[in-house]
Each structure stands twice: as structure tokens, then as C-alpha cells.
Amino acid sequence: MGLPFSSEQFFDVFGAYNAAVWPAVVVLWLATLFLIVSLGRGRANAVAIGMLASIHWLWSGVVYHALFFTAINTAAWVFAAVFVLEGIAFGWFCVRRRLTFRFDRTLRSRVGAFFLVYSLAYPFLAVLSGHQLLRVPLFAVPCPTTIFTVGLLLNGHRVPASLAAIPMLWSIVGGTAAFAFGVTPDLMLLAAVVALLMLWKLPSIQKNRRLPYTAAQGHASRT
């Protein structure tokens, strides 16, 4: 069964999306860059990282899927609901479970760092794939959001496996765009599934290293 929309319609949606919300896309890219650099330097705030991931998923669900993609695909309403669910889950677990994120020298963390950097490079790679600048997925859309999230999950500590379910599913769904529409950067989504399946059970923090500093620990030390 074929897709309910054409390649031209697919890229038209991105054209409309980019023209309408590009300032927010730039702001979200810069915020993501800042927190990824902070994570690499060991200075990232776990709550800030978790809430950024939540914003990514809520934005992709509400703004991209619900407001734009539904114009050519009614299934986008389902996608929107799933993305919003992931965004709410990230926010809830971050606040209630105090998730922590830290880059270290383990294989799992190094692979995660690669996906984080790749998510930032995604807009440039999408343009280099041969598509028009304003009619291609750039940032703050489902595929780079998923790649960014996989990078976070692989650098996470005490992260529930349920947070990986939706990113894995979208990696499979969104990865088809690499073949159907020639968005070659989306091929990395398929690698993300493999990485999560192979590396999820590996330790994210070496046992002989101090656990990441959290906002909760800082508050306890001041009281």
C-alpha cells in the first residue's frame, strides 16, 4: 500500500513549516547546542536536559504533526498524540524520578555522543542531501528529535526503558523517509534502533566513577 501523499506534498509541508516557525527552530537548535556542550563538559543540569527533550517531543507533536503534517496525512493525528505522550513522559520522569545524564568513556556513552552531535548536524546534512533549503526537514521535527533523544538515552542514568519505546518505533517509521523521499540523513534512525537494542543494557556510568551531580544533591548539601 502506497503513502497517502506525494513526495511534492511531503516537502511542501516542510516548506510551510520552515517559513512559519523558523525563529523557534533556530532558538531550539541553539538551546540544544548549549546543553550538549554542557553535557560533554560535565556541567549539564539534568532537569534542563530532560525538559529540553520534553519540549522537542511536544513541539514536534503539536506544531509539526498536528498543525502541519495532518494537512496531507490523517495518521499524523496519531503521531501527534504519541509524540505528546513521549514529551509528557520525559517531563514527568525528569522531575519525579530525577533522571541524570552524563558523558563518560564507556562505549554506550560514546555512541550516544555521536547521535547527539549528529542531531545538531542534521539540518546541514539534509541540505547537502540535495533538497532545497526551505523545503527539507531541518530541526525541531520528528527525525532529528528522535536522533537527539537516542543520544540522551545512551548517556542516561536511571532512565526507564519505557522512554526508549517511542523513539525506537519512530526510528523505524521515520527511517522509511530515507528511501521513500531521499532524505538520506534519516538513515541514521535505523542505526539508532540497532544502537539502543545492542547498548541499552550496558552500564552508562563506570562503577569506579562518581555518579553525576544532580540538582537534588546540590539542594541537599545546602540544607
How many Å apart are CA 6 and CA 40, to the nearest integer? 41
- Note whether residue 219 is domain-resident: no
Domain of 28 in residue numbering reads as: 7-205
* Total domain count, the chain: 1
3-state secondary structure the chain: CCCCCCHHHHHHHHHHHHHHHHHHHHHHHHHHHHHHHHHHCCCCCHHHHHHHHHHHHHHHHHHHHHCCHHHCCCCHHHHHHHHHHHHHHHHHHHHHCCCEECCCCCHHHHHHHHHHHHHHHHHHHHHHCCCCHHHCCCCCCHHHHHHHHHHHHHCEECCCCHHHHHHHHHHHHHHCHHHHCCCHHHHHHHHHHHHHHHHCCCCCCCCCCCCCCCHHHHHHHHC
- Note whether residue 147 is domain-resident: yes
- Note whether residue 216 is domain-resident: no
* Residues 64-74, mean pLDDT to the nearest whole number: 97
- Note whether residue 175 is domain-resident: yes
- Note whether residue 217 is domain-resident: no
Confidence of residue 32 (pLDDT cuts 50, 70, 90): very high
Kindly report which listed range (2-11, 135-144, 163-172, 212-221) carries the lowest average pLDDT score. 212-221
Q: Which of 110-114, 128-132, 176-180, 213-217 has the highest mean pLDDT?
A: 110-114
How many Å apart are CA 50 and CA 46, to the nearest integer? 6
pLDDT digits (tens, 9 = 90+) for 19-29: 999 999 999 99
- Note whether residue 49 is domain-resident: yes
- Note whether residue 211 is domain-resident: no
- Note whether residue 71 is domain-resident: yes
pLDDT at 203: 57
